[in-house]
Amino acid sequence: MKYSSLGNSEIKVSKICLGTMTWGNQNTQAEGFEQMDYAVDNGVNFFDTAELYPVPATAETYAETERIIGNWFQKSGQRENIILASKIAGPGEYTAHIRTNGFSAEAIESAVNDSLKRLKTDYIDLYQLHWPERQTNTFGVRDYKHNPQDTWTDNINEVLQTLSKLIKAGKIREIGLSNEKAWGAMRFAEESRLHNLPPIVSNQNAYSLLNRVFEGDMAEVAIRENMGLLAYSPMAFGVLSGKYIKGTASENSRLKLFPRFARYSSKESTLATQKYLDLATNHNLSLAQMSLAFVNQQPFVTSNIIGATTMEQLKENIESINVDLSSELLEEINGIHNLIPNPAP
């Protein structure tokens, strides 16, 4: 395994992070336990979760993933060996069953305290804001179009003050963003510097062969501000395994169970995926390992968040850390990207 520093902190995280959002829906607790055991045995020390999980989010399954992790900590005694990341759910209709008071001090404090209870721990190593409160182009929206009716007012200082109190109380160690854009990331960085508040150490955004929009401006923010990317959906909901093109996807696969998750299923994405599949085959690689190795090698990536529903997938995903893509192969990947750039923003 390879390891990276989490921002300017002293925390070292594995370059492969274990994603958990299927546990409690597509995966049972026993399967989640098996995944955590295997990941730790193979050098993974970084787990990412959220109060929202499992996905799709429902009131019935709310926070079940955190409970599974907490039960594993209790059973395994491994808490001190794991860098644990979680998130407070952002506002909106999708999360109205959780709370409706956004990132207010009351919301953040109650979210952290509730997560600590479910996770059966005294602290969370990395606490993240799952998506911005303001209206911006996230979750597959290609371009920013300002909405004059957006009622959000800049409360970034207040959010950082609340998180700072939780750090001083020992409940969280570091703070990060998720699904954030360049303006928001720099506002947090500015506010941290001006008022001696905790810095943002990471930004968890989508990044894959089908979605490289992070390279447009966020990559520079990541490097210059030491706010590295925690890349999610590096397999594009499993599309970059090639199983949907090959017709080998199981009935328990995400897109068969939840066809509304069509972010990576456009005609352009399918065409690009076929080209990447052919390229991987020509280089004697699986598409999954080529896709993950591409993410692993980016200089702005702190950790690559993998997610698997089977142990076979998990093993292949973790093994990607040992795959080094040649400069020739990277040039061919960029050739496809130039032909079909970012088909799934």
Catalytic positions are: 53
Q: State the Cα angle at 273 between 269 and 275, rounded to 5°.
A: 120
Give the count of alpha carbons within 13 A of 252, CB side only: 9
In three-state secondary structure terms, 86 is strand
Pairwise CA distance, residues 309 & 325, whole Å: 26
Q: Are strands 12-14 and 3-5 parallel, antiparallel or unpaired?
A: antiparallel
Q: Where are the alpha helices (DSSP H) in the chain?
A: 29-41, 64-76, 105-119, 156-168, 182-194, 218-224, 243-246, 254-257, 267-282, 287-296, 311-319, 327-339
Q: Are 201 and 174 in contact (CB under 8 A)?
A: yes
Q: Which residues contact 10 (CB under 8 A, 6 or more apart)?
A: none
Q: Which residue has the tokens 């371009």?
A: 143
Determine which helix (DSSP H) or strand (DSSP E) holds 323, and give its type and residue range. Answer: none
